[in-house]
Structure 1
Amino acid sequence: MLKSGNYTGNSSLNGIDNLYTVVVEHKDDIITITEPNRKSQYVHTNGNTYWHTEAKYSQVFYVRVISNTQFYAGKKGQGEGLYTYQGGNTKKEEVLLSGIDNCPLYDKYLNLSQTDPIEVQAWTFCGAAALAKCTYTDYSNYLPPIIRGLKSILENVSKCPCTDVITTQEWNAVSID
């Protein structure tokens, strides 16, 4: 049985892997997965597999449990992503949406991205880093791609433009070579 809580994993969208967080509750033969835009129930059929049919789109999805803290999720006939337990919080409003609601550094960089057209890209990456830190307890999977993206647009990659969000150690740990 899966531990109830929030899980983060890979979700492929248009061939691009994205980290994605969901809230999971497992009771008896039903796993309920809450995403930012929907809630789906997966019903146990046999072994360690649970199924959900999205009638609106005629698509069949599954969850394959591999331990009490990990599962694979996918669409029948396509690839699957591994999801790993991040913590016991099952409150959607706290896990899935709260980062943006209580993140002053995100607000700072959002404002800069809207008022400084010359550095809009840099401020957007800084805002993404702030949001990752406000949203996730373990943001180690999120921060390196953000830093790589930010470094790829800078002329001088030796100094981070948003040291209030990205520490020198985090900045120096990511290479774009």
Structure 2
Amino acid sequence: MKKLLFISILSAFTLSAFAQKIPAFGVYTTSDGNYSIKISWMANAIIVTEPNKVSDFKSVGNNIYAYTNPVNGIAYRIEVVDEATLAFFKPQTPTNRTIVLYSKDKSEIGYANKEEYSKYIERANFYKDQMRIDSKDAQSWAFCAAAAYARATYSKEDFEKYAKSARDSVKLILINKEKCPCADVIPLEVWGKKKVSK
């Protein structure tokens, strides 16, 4: 009986896992071509990047993700119709939908692909843990965590701008300014070898 119950639970879990649809990472555009957004997916959340803001839509089941604007309290939903189609709507008017279609992989325009995104999010979490474990160097680890997150979510050009600006600040607190504390996140050409004057 116990074995049968275990198999039933495992089957339900497996079917649920396979039923979840994960959207393609990249740029999505409305059918009229007038508006585009960037989409990423992480830990049961869809990250929507618009020209003026970033919103995290959390999974509420059945391939639906929810977000409430903290400024005006308006609730929004996204349904993942398939890997290349998303439907935006408000919960009170579920049939009034705005459809956006996948138009370009982020990696084609300088963004991380799915594998790179997962890798750098993992590094961001690692460096966040280091802030707690090694509190005396918390500032350096915070810089590394932020840089890893930026590398996962920014375009290559925007990441390099961010990293170079942050680098100049963090070098002020490093004893060895030549050595990057997170070379797995920041390439040598971005870190640079020029010392910051005191």
Query: Which of 1 and 2 has greater Rg?
Result: 2
TM-score by length of 2: 0.40
TM-score by length of 1: 0.44
More helix by share: 2
Structure with larger RCO (C-alpha < 8 A, sep 6+): 1
